[in-house]
């Protein structure tokens, strides 16, 4: 718009052709002279740009700021120029140059500006510079990404301009954040001053702290930090994060910083250490936990008190959260190590003894490693008596964390050689470690150290040797180890050496304690025999060595036979107890199964042990080995036979079969005399005698007597499912066999355990007798199951052709088919093939003496009276109905009729194979019955009801037609009586009156039986 107000049209561009009528764009390129163009450019340098260029080469900041205050405008193109675009005075390249020069001069020796100057043109120039840098943010940030020193100068240049920093925060973040790691890696700027400069940059300071914590710069440059001021800085951000005034991403940065700071080893008071422990826990937990305050208070208390038990429980609880990271675990585990080192030995032992690591939680490796290191340090420094209690508690609980066991074993083996009483504690520690699964090469080093000589060939493995050695040093108020174990200890130690070793002194004391268990007249003889036997071990090969009980057995039997037991204390050891019990047996006393085992224990052979050698299993020699001298074998055999006969005679006075006990005692002693092994041998011997003496004669009697005698001495609850191979499992198998032979039906589960246990390899005759017994027992318990069908199904199952489910299903189908066939036979015998009305069997008939009662149509009056008598005597059988949802399946299988009598009346579902015998609630085991048959079944019992169902079909015919004859006679008599009463009555109406219902009900029923 001109001054006079008219519109001035701007000149058209050269490519706009107006020569024609229409306005057509001229696309002909215009080529200008290059010399003229260059001359034009040179003439068009803006004076402000020229002033800026001059200020850039000066050593003063003031000219630069004044020139910048004029550089906010745009450069207009000349009128004859085809370019109509306005260009800024400061482009991106010039802006980067000015910015780098500004931060170089600012706060330097050439900074000639005063605070008052920033309120004038100089302040305006700095604002223009920041606006231009904001405009060219990408170019500025890219250029400064490789200029770390210039970025550090920029931090110092603007730290005192908070308003401008806040206004241009995006610019400074774009420059500082990518360079944070490189800046922190430079030691040219100390961390405290850097963090102080960054305080004005807002969130950038927090981001720098996060980068320093993330890349371990705080740990590497920890010497530059002042703990008090640095912790105060971090705590400020922690408080903001806990108040919720930070964004989520910044809150996560604060948590990582807090975890790192808590791990840094800086000088702190106990209160500060506890505070940062709790803060680290907060930083490791997820948000919005209700118990956060409670657990943090416990962490505060634990960090201040440093109790190892409380810190350990807190560490376990924190690990159980499942969301904590390794930083917090490192912190709390470091405090745990400090707590264990500062706690008393008794307190540390108490914590380790009671430690329980849940198998439901997968503990991180860092936790297990730290705990294992603490345990190793405790093992090296603790007294052996305290250490033995801790390891004993672990062994009893089957503590199974290999890292801890490995470290404890290493620390234990590296201790000095124990002496005197300490040797006993050390041996027991080694035994506990072997139970816990410590490595064999480590424990072998300990064994060699305590024996003070290389390992000799042994028939025991390393773990058994350690367990035996632990029993060498027993307290004086405790009984010495059993004779079998004492022999193993002497063989491990070997003959006495000169000078005496620590183990030699303990072995001499053990010899004296063993000899003191026999009467005084024989003590010196027994002590000399043991000493001579022990010295002979060193000169005898392992396979030719005679066991210790070969030497002791004659002395024990001689003492018991002569009855010299007045001065023998049965609690002194197994030898003394054996002498007393055998003496009682010689005098005519009775023994139970446990007393018999105790009496024979010192005379039992040394048990065979399995030793692993180069991946091959080798069975070590037993006491009575083929390589033993013939005289020793004969002596042992004679002593074993004599002791077995005496003990069997004593047990027979208590009700046990003598022949069974004699075989069992002999086998148990020659097989090694395992603890609680005599009852198992009694079961085996009972089966052996049962087959040898007659499966249905004297052998069966011996089997029953053995079962009754064992169950009288051993309490094995029937509801408890025993472990396979245990004494209770063998007793249950014996009970199942004997009860089955007596007619009690077994369950498939009992038979399955029996097939895998006591009758794993039965003879053909034994299996035949037992199969018949099972078949008759099942046929008595399930009406309709014939012994032949039961035997066939059992035989297929025993041979593994079918499983238990198929056996039960096959028996169920046989029962339903047999009952249907029996019912058909009764119908044929009653109507000779001519079915009654509608072709169905009767549903019921009226009882003979009580006309209002209904009973099954084929059941005679005598059976009903028997059922009523059984019901009145309280012998009702318990019965369980099936689920209603399975009733349709039973109706479908039986044709919609009772499977006992064929009645369609009020059918109820029932299990064909009883649930008490292992039947299942499935369609394959579902049948139906009417209420009348159910009543007979419950009152008579399964066995008697089955006999009624298998009765001669002619009996059903006689019962039915006799009932029909009585009903017809009663009906005829009732009709005649009514006719006579009608004739005698007066009046025509009275002659036609029929007998009243009350009179008819008193005399006879209008219909004695009804069809369906």
Q: Poorest-confidence range of 185-194, 280-289, 459-468?
A: 280-289
Average pLDDT of span 778-805? 91
Provide the pLDDT for residue 312: 79
Average pLDDT of span 54-62? 88
Q: What is the largest CA-CA distance in the chain?
A: 162
Element (H, E) at 234: helix 227-243
pLDDT at 839 over 70: no
Cβ contact 933:898 at 8 Å: yes
CA separation for the pair 976, 958 (Å, rounded): 27
| Backbone φ, ψ for residue 684 (5° rounding) | -60, -45
Q: Which residues in 96-108 are b (16+ Cβ under 10 Å) and which e?
A: bebbbbbbbbbbe
Provide the pLDDT for residue 629: 38
Higher-pLDDT residue of 734, 9 = 734
Average pLDDT of span 25-43? 46
Provide the pLDDT for residue 631: 38
pLDDT band at 324 (very low <50, low <70, confident <90, very high): low
Other beta carbons less than 10 A from residue 154's beta carbon: 22
| Backbone φ, ψ for residue 397 (5° rounding) | -95, 0
Q: Find how far residue 979's CA is from the centre of its chain.
A: 88
Sign (positive/negative) of CA torsion 280, 286, 288, 292? negative
Q: Which candidate, 814, 1008, 817, 823, places its Cα nearest to that of 903?
A: 823
Cβ contact 686:758 at 8 Å: no
In degrees, rounded to 5, the angle at the alpha carbon of residue 686 between the alpha carbons of residues 681 and 691 is 130
Cβ contact 957:829 at 8 Å: yes
Provide the pLDDT for residue 117: 82
| pLDDT tens, position by position, 906-928 | 888 888 888 888 888 777 888 88
Average pLDDT of span 256-273? 78
Q: Which candidate, 403, 376, 379, places its Cα nearest to that of 389?
A: 379
Average pLDDT of span 326-336? 73
CA separation for the pair 406, 806 (Å, rounded): 51
Q: Which of 196-210, 298-312, 350-364, 560-574 has the highest mean pLDDT?
A: 196-210
Whether cis (ω within 30° of 0) applies to the bond prior to 647 is no
Mean pLDDT for all residues in the chain: 78
pLDDT at 358 over 90: no
Give the side-chain half-sphere CA count within 13 A for 373: 11
CA separation for the pair 188, 223 (Å, rounded): 14
pLDDT at 722 over 80: no
What DSSP designation does 898 have? -
Higher-pLDDT residue of 76, 41 = 76
Q: What is the number of H-type helices and E-type strands within the chain?
A: 48, 10
| pLDDT tens, position by position, 129-157 | 999 999 999 999 999 998 999 999 999 99
What DSSP designation does 622 have? -
Which residues sit opposite 855 in a β-bridge? Answer: 845
Q: Which of 110-114, 799-803, 906-910 has the highest mean pLDDT?
A: 799-803
CA distances from 809 to 5, 171, 887, 893 (A): 114, 83, 17, 13
Provide the pLDDT for residue 208: 92
Tokens of 663: 């075989």
Who's near 457: CB < 8 A, 6+ residues apart? 542
Tokens of 891: 């109706």
Provide the pLDDT for residue 965: 80
pLDDT at 31 over 50: no
Provide the pLDDT for residue 883: 55
| pTM for this prediction | 0.58
Average pLDDT of span 187-195? 89
| pLDDT tens, position by position, 436-445 | 888 888 888 8
Question: DSSP string of 991-1005?
Answer: HHPPPPHHHHHHH--
Q: Poorest-confidence range of 471-475, 618-622, 950-954?
A: 618-622
Provide the pLDDT for residue 20: 46
């Amino acid at each position: 718009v001109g001054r006079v107000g008219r519109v001035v049209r701007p000149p058209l561009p050269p490519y706009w052709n107006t020569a024609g009528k229409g306005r057509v764009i001229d696309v002909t390129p215009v080529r200008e002279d290059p010399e003229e163009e260059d001359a034009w450019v040179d003439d068009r340098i803006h004076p402000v740009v020229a002033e800026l260029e001059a200020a850039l080469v000066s050593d003063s900041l003031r000219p630069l700021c004044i020139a910048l205050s004029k550089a906010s405008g745009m450069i207009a193109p000349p009128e004859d120029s085809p370019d109509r675009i306005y260009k800024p005075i400061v482009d991106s390249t010039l802006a980067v140059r000015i910015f780098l020069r500004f931060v170089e001069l600012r706060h330097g020796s050439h900074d000639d500006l005063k605070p008052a100057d920033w309120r004038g043109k100089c302040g305006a120039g700095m604002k223009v510079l920041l606006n231009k840098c904001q405009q060219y943010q990408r170019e500025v940030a890219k250029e400064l990404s490789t200029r770390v020193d210039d970025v550090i100068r920029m931090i110092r240049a603007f730290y005192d301009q908070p308003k401008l920093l806040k206004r241009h925060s995006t610019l400074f973040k774009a420059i500082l954040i990518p360079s944070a790691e490189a800046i922190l890696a430079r030691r040219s700027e100390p961390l405290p001053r850097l963090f102080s400069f960054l305080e004005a940059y807002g969130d950038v300071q927090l981001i720098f702290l996060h980068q320093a914590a993330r890349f371990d710069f705080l740990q590497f440059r920890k010497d530059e930090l002042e703990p008090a001021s640095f912790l105060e800085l971090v705590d400020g951000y922690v408080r903001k994060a806990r108040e919720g005034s930070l964004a989520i991403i910044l809150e996560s940065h604060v948590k990582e910083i807090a975890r790192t700071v808590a791990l840094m080893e800086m000088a702190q008071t106990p209160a500060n250490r506890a505070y940062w422990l709790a803060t680290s826990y907060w930083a490791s937990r997820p948000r919005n936990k209700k118990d956060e305050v409670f657990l943090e208070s416990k962490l505060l208390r634990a960090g201040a008190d440093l109790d190892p038990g409380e810190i350990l429980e807190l560490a376990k609880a924190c690990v159980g959260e499942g969301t904590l990271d390794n930083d917090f675990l490192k912190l709390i585990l470091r405090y745990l190590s400090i707590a264990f080192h500062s706690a008393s030995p008794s307190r540390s032992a108490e914590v380790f003894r009671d430690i329980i690591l849940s198998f439901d939680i997968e503990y991180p490796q860092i936790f297990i490693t730290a705990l294992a290191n603490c345990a190793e340090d405790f093992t090296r420094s603790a007294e052996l008596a305290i250490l033995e209690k801790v390891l004993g508690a672990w062994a009893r609980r089957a503590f199974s964390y290999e890292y801890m066991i490995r470290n404890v074993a290493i620390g234990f083996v590296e201790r000095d050689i124990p002496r005197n009483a300490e040797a006993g504690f050390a041996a027991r520690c080694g035994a506990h470690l072997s139970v816990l699964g410590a490595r064999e090469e480590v424990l072998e080093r300990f064994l060699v150290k305590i024996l003070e000589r290389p390992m000799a060939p042994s028939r025991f493995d390393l773990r058994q040797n350690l367990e035996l050695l632990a029993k060498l040093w027993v307290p004086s108020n405790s009984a010495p180890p059993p004779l079998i174990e004492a022999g193993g200890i002497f063989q491990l130690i070997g003959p006495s050496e000169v000078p005496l070793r620590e183990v030699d002194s303990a072995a001499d004391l053990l010899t004296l304690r063993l000899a003191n268990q026999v009467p005084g007249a024989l003590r010196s003889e027994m002590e000399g025999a043991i000493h001579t036997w022990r010295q002979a071990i060193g000169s005898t090969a392992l396979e030719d060595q005679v066991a210790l009980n070969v030497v002791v057995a004659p002395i024990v039997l001689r003492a018991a036979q002569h009855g010299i037991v007045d001065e023998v204390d049965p609690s002194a050891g197994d030898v003394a107890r054996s002498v007393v019990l055998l003496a009682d047996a010689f005098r005519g006393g009775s023994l139970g199964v446990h007393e018999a085992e105790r009496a024979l224990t010192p005379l039992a052979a040394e048990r065979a042990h399995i030793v692993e050698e180069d991946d091959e299993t080798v069975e070590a020699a037993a006491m009575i080995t083929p390589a033993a001298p013939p005289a020793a074998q004969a002596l042992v055999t004679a002593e074993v036979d004599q002791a077995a006969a005496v003990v069997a005679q004593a047990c027979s006075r208590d009700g046990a079969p003598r022949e069974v006990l004699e075989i069992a005692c002999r086998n148990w002693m020659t097989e090694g005399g395992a603890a609680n092994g005599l009852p198992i041998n009694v079961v085996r011997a009972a089966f052996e005698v049962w087959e040898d003496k007659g499966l249905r004669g004297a052998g069966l009697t011996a089997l029953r007597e053995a079962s009754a005698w064992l169950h009288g001495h051993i309490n094995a609850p029937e509801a408890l499912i025993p472990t396979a191979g245990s004494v209770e499992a063998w007793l249950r198998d014996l009970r199942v066999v004997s009860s089955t032979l007596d007619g009690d039906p077994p369950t498939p589960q009992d038979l399955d355990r029996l097939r895998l246990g006591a009758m794993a390899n039965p003879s053909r005759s034994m299996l035949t007798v037992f199969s018949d017994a099972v078949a008759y027992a099942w046929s008595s318990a399930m009406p309709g199951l014939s012994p032949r069908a039961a035997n066939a199904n059992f035989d297929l199952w025993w041979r593994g052709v079918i499983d238990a489910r198929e056996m039960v299903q096959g028996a169920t189908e046989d029962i339903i088919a047999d009952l249907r066939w029996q019912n058909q036979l009764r119908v044929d015998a009653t109507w000779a093939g001519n079915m009654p009305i509608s072709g169905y069997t009767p549903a019921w008939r009226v009882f003979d003496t009580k006309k209002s009662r209904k009973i099954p149509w084929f059941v005679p009056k005598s059976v009903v009276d028997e059922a009523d008598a059984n019901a009145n005597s309280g012998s009702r059988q318990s019965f369980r109905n099936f689920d209603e949802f399975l009733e349709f399946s039973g109706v479908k299988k039986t044709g919609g009729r009772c499977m006992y009598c064929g009645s369609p009346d009020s059918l109820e579902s029932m299990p064909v194979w009883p649930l008490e015998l292992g039947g299942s609630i499935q369609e394959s085991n579902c049948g139906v019955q009417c209420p009348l048959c159910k009543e007979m079944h419950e009152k008579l019992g399964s066995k008697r009801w089955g006999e009624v169902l298998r009765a001669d079909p002619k009996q059903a015919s006689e019962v039915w037609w006799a009932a029909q004859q009585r009903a017809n006679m009663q009906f005829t008599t009732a009709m005649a009586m009514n006719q006579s009463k009608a004739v005698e009555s007066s009046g025509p109406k009275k002659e036609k009156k029929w007998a009243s219902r009350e009179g008819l009900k008193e005399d006879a029923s209008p219909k004695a039986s009804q069809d369906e």
